Amino acid sequence: MLLQAAIDQFLADLQQADKSQHTVRAYRADLLALTAIAPQALTQLNADHLRAFFTRQSHLKPTTRARKQAAVASFLHWAFQQDLIEANPMLKIPRVQVHPPIHHPPSRTQIEAILAVIPPHHLRDQVLFRLLFETGMRVGETLALYVEDVELTPDNEHLTVMGKGRRQRTLLLDDPVLVALLKRFLRLHPSRHGPLFRALKNYQGGPLRYQSVQAKWAKYCQIAHVDCSLHQLRHAHATELINEGVSLSTIRKRLGHQHIQSTLRYAQQSDEVADLEIRAWRRRKRRS
Out of 130, 138, 216, 252, pick the active-site residue: 138
Find the radius of gyration of the CA atoms of the chain. 23
164 is catalytic: yes
Q: Which of 234, 235, 237, 254 is catalytic?
A: 234
Complete edge-to-edge strand list for the sheet that includes strand 158-162: 150-151, 158-162, 168-172
Distance set, CA 125 to CA 71, 112, 176 (Å): 34, 14, 17
Report how far residue 164's alpha carbon sits from residue 139's, in angstroms, rounded to the nearest whole number.
12
Per annotation, catalytic residue among 65, 67, 231, 253: 231
Q: Is position 103 annotated as part of the catalytic site?
A: no
Other beta carbons within 10 Å of 262: 13
- Confirm whether 231 is a catalytic residue: yes
Contacts of 224 (CB under 8 A, 6+ apart): 113, 114, 116, 117
The DSSP call for residue 163 is -
- Active-site annotation holds for 27: no
d(CA 120, CA 164): 33
Nearest to 209 by CA among 15, 25, 4: 25
Q: Which positions are catalytic?
A: 138, 164, 231, 234, 257, 266
